[in-house]
A and B are shown apart, each in its own frame.
Chain A
Amino acid sequence: MTGISILKERKKQIYQKGAEPFSITCGKHSLAGSVSQRACVFCGSRVVLYPIADALHLIHGPIGCAAYTWDIRGALSSGPELHRLSFSTDLQEKDVIFGGEKKLYHALIDLIHEYKPKAAFVYSTCIVGIIGDDVEAVCKKVSRETGVETLPVHSEGFKGTKKDGYKAACEALFKLVGQGSVDNISPYSINILGEFNIGGEAWIIKDYYKRMGVNVVSTMTGDGRVDDVRRSHGAMLNVVQCSGAMTYLADMMKEKYGIPYIRVSYFGLEDMSKALYDVAEYFSHNPEIMTCTQELVRYEISRIYPELQKIKTAVKGKRAAIYVGGAFKAFSLIKALKYIGINVILAGSQTGNDADYEVLRDMCDKGTIILDDANPLELSKYIIEKKADLFIGGVKERPIAYKMGIGFCDHNHERKTPLAGYSGMLNFAREVYLTVTSPVWQFAR
């Protein structure tokens, strides 16, 4: 039974390349009852700020929002691990009636006293928006009394989509930017924005820049530290990966501090190399950087090339479906998959915009399905119709793929394996190889 009918209101969010002139609707609030795979504004903020390891993250609301995000991400820290704990004001009925400000205040004072964080983020969840707590005022008071900067994050779940949560997070970060000293920052220095150190990815990338002779002032927010963010305005260039989440901050930094930015992706050989070359290009007045970069790229690629070729022979011709959060990730994934000989038959995202989907259309082969804000029924319908062998997505997509008897590869914030950089590409190819060539599928068909 693949005869799953598409909801009338959703038809415009689905496009099949070649069948019709391009038009896709996106950026809409999810349709009620559609079983969207999306989360909420809070989710967006939490994802972006999560990896700041020496900050306190307090979730102001009833227990669920905090409980479901406890230690969920693969964001590693080389030092403090405060971000891996889950703090909540755990609002109760009387707080809902009489307001939760007092509770918030005491919780903050107590937590700051106990954990001595460098700064504190307070996330407002849905009902805080309704009961009208003045979170801003409480934060101010706590900052004043404790000397620890306490920043409200306006992330009430219903007030938009995950994208609005990214924006709220950027606003909170931007308040920190500019506070620290910019002494001793090299003229060849960058900030990395939108890199969250999943499985240690930021470490891989930072190592590349270091070998090029480029200094990384701050990574926002992978293995993040409050003080690094505070001095990030001293960098010469912002390098934005995962642009959906962080372009907003880059724009603000450009306006206020005149720091230009470039967009990059660290995923796949092509995009990874371009990310390094673009930075080298920017610092072209120091030709040594370019020389080091060329050497690095050559060395790294030749290291993984033989194994990638072997994998390519094994997986060539398989068909993949991609459904990820941001559209930029989808672009890189398509290129990386093509590199190992895999065809993409479905590509979709939770938060793409018009321009993103046009790029997707241009990249995809004829017949490819492009989806905005999909749901499990649509995803499985096209997996069957297009005979996918592999699904690339997040935790909520995994059981859909497995139930339909096809391979799966995780590509979201919750994974624990680094997929960025050259070694990350090899990890990715290996994972694809392991899942599509597993002998278990003989029992599935």
Chain B
Amino acid sequence: MNIAEKQEYTATKNACKLCAPLGASLVFKGIQGAVPLLHGSQGCSTYIRRYLISHFKEPIDIACSNFAEETAIFGGGANLKIALENIRFQYSPEMVGIATTCLSETIGDDVPMFIKEYKDMHKDLEIFPLVHVSTPSYQGTHMQGFHAAVQAAVNDIADGKNGKDSTLINIFPGMVSPEDMRYLKEIFKEFNLSHMMLPDYSETLDGPLWKEYQRIPQGGTKVSKIRNAGSAAASLEFGTILACEKQSAGRLLEKKFDVPNYSLGFPIGVNETDKLFKVLEQISGIPMPRIYAQERGRLVDSYVDAHKYVIEAKAVVYGEEDLVCGLVSFLSEIGIVPVICASGGKSGFFKDRIAEIIPGCKEKNIQIIDDADFTDIENAAKELKPDIFIGSSKGYSAARRLNVPLVRVGFPVHDRVGGARLLHLGYRGTQQLFDRITNTIIEKRQESSSVGYSYM
């Protein structure tokens, strides 16, 4: 055979995605007292822990049911029960979140049945909630795993028994940073709204030093609050792509308990953030608090001050589909052209949504790539001569080869400190992104200038 022939299939080269149980583990790390448990073999949980640690720089305990050869043949029921017993003994959890791996999915383990058997074993005890989510990676990326875990937690725990509370809002922020989560909570407070945010790893994955050892870091969404989610006056859900999916936690609550659901994009940039504030004003009856009006004002002011430096700059933007949608919406506001919009996700909705967000997308010759890996991204970028890369640390090697500066956003940021403290959302988050992006472009020009002027 002539190997120079074009092949029908090529391998994934430097993936721009991660696997589903990682997303699920992250969600469970954001629930108070919860221990994530991966049902499968040891390597997956260790690799996922190691990966999350490089971004968050926090201890991340993820248990595993540790398949061995016999387990793979006879099924993982016994191992799962042993794992649950050991977690109970070592961690005294308030919840255990069980995510399956490719292996347990492939052999077809019936996890709900194992859970039932485990509960039957402990009829005498009040056993903690066991949330199960099916996360084979061959069906989706870490994003699917993330959303599936949020939904599973709501589905398994929320009961709607407590009547209605007109000041309570559910918020499903998506895979954002701990800093983003802290900022969102602050906004809710200013609007006099109480909230149930799921997940909330703002403390568990970005906390102070410990005086004493904590088996499970403090913080996270309280299980009792998730239970109460059916009583909320509304749910807010972030994610342009999530809004297109068949199911979501917000829609589930709408269907089960009549909680109205608002699907919003990631609030990045003025336009998308305005939409969030409009909803909050509507629900609370309170006009935008002065501090946010000020933030918005400063942001627009800075847009004006710097517009000439960024206009028509060419950016390569990549990462999770929803984050890319948010970023692209923001970049379009300031005249940066996202010449490549790429994601390793393949929800099937990405291309159309991006095309909607960028006016005149076709004429501008913008490349939208889903199911992308970094080799695809780099190859596309070579010809387009971008001014800047915007995305996770995983784009570093490509950006370095092309000699293009990289502004790190999203996940993972594992070659810098502070990945957990990057703010992306709202006027304030946009302000930080705007300043970083603009200054990176200016710096690049300054460095390549023969004169090196130091005044603007």
Instruction: Show the binding face of A for B, using Cβ within 8 Å.
Output: 1-2, 4-5, 7, 9, 29-43, 58, 61-71, 84-93, 95-96, 102-103, 106-107, 109-113, 126-127, 129-131, 145-146, 157-160, 375-377, 380-381, 384, 395-396, 398-400, 402-405, 443-444
Contacts and interface: CB of A to CB of B under 8 A. Distances in A.
B212 A1 contact: yes
B14 A86 contact: yes
Contact of B80 (A32, A58, A131): A32
Contact of B46 (A40, A91, A381): A40
Contacts of B162: none
Contacts of B213: 1-2, 4, 377, 380-381, 384, 404
Given A375-B61, A377-B215, 10 more contacts: A4-B213, A33-B65, A34-B86, A67-B15, A68-B47, A87-B11, A91-B138, A93-B138, A130-B106, A375-B90
Contacts of B67: 126, 158
Contacts of B22: 64
Interface in B53-75: 53-54, 57-69, 71-72
Interface string B213-230: 111000000000000000
Contact of A33 (B12, B63, B102): B63
A106 B209 CA distance: 50
A38 B46 contact: yes
11 contacts: A32-B80, A34-B63, A40-B43, A67-B19, A70-B14, A85-B13, A88-B12, A90-B12, A106-B8, A130-B103, A405-B210
Interface string B80-102: 10111111011100000000011
A106 B210 contact: no
B46, B79, B139: most-surrounded residue (chain A CB, <10 A): B46
A95 B139 CA distance: 11
B83 A33 contact: yes
Interface in B1-45: 1, 3-4, 7-15, 17-19, 21-22, 37, 40-44
Contacts of B10: 106-107, 110-111
B46 A399 contact: no
Given A32-B86, A88-B15, A106-B7, A444 B209 contact: yes
Contact of B42 (A4, A38, A404): A38
A399 B102 contact: no
B174 to A, nearest CB: 20
Given A29-B68, A67-B18, A127-B102, A398 B82 contact: no
Given A30-B42, A403-B209, A35 B7 contact: no
Given A31-B82, A71-B397, A157 B43 contact: yes
Nearest to B15: A67
A302 B89 CA distance: 54
Contacts of B17: 63, 67
B49 interface: yes
Contact of A404 (B47, B101, B210, B215): B210
Interface of B: 1, 3-4, 7-15, 17-19, 21-22, 37, 40-44, 46-51, 53-54, 57-69, 71-72, 79-80, 82-87, 89-91, 101-103, 106-107, 136-139, 141, 209-210, 212-215, 394, 397
A85 B373 CA distance: 12
Given A32-B64, A33-B87, A377-B215, A68 B51 contact: yes
A129 B43 contact: no
B53 A398 contact: yes
A290 to B, nearest CB: 44
A9 B89 CA distance: 12
A7 B41 CA distance: 20
A113 B10 CA distance: 11
B12 A87 contact: yes
Contact of B4 (A113, A375, A376): A113
A126 B40 contact: yes
Contacts of A70: 14-15, 394
A323 B404 CA distance: 40
Contacts of B397: 71, 84
Nearest to A62: B137
B103 A126 contact: yes
Contacts of B210: 403-405
Contacts, number: 247
B11 A107 contact: yes
Contacts of B4: 113
B43 A65 contact: yes
B61 A376 contact: yes
B404 to A, nearest CB: 18
Contacts of B9: 102-103, 106-107, 110
B51 to A, nearest CB: 5
A396 B45 CA distance: 12
Nearest to A394: B50
A35 B214 CA distance: 15
B139 A93 contact: yes
B83 A405 contact: no
A243 B67 CA distance: 27
Contacts of A103: 9
A95 B11 CA distance: 13
A86 B398 CA distance: 13
Contact of B47 (A34, A39, A84): A39
Contacts of B106: 96, 127, 130-131
A352 B367 CA distance: 52
A127 B15 CA distance: 19
Contacts of A444: 209
A88 B69 contact: no
A7 B89 contact: yes
B11 A403 contact: no
B72 A158 contact: yes
B50 A33 contact: no
B223 to A, nearest CB: 20
B21, B53, B79, B107: most-surrounded residue (chain A CB, <10 A): B53
Contacts of A404: 209-210, 213
Contacts of B21: 64
B127 to A, nearest CB: 15
A126 B45 CA distance: 13
A361 B105 CA distance: 43
Contacts of B215: 4, 377
A84 to B, nearest CB: 8
Contacts of A38: 42, 46
A96 B44 contact: no
A105 to B, nearest CB: 9
A61 to B, nearest CB: 7
Nearest to A112: B3
B46 A39 contact: yes
Contacts of A145: 1, 3
A69 B397 CA distance: 15
Contacts of A398: 53, 57
Contacts of A63: 12, 15, 17-19, 137, 141
Contacts of B139: 92-93
B15 A39 contact: no
A395 B56 CA distance: 12
A35 B63 contact: yes
Contacts of B65: 32-33
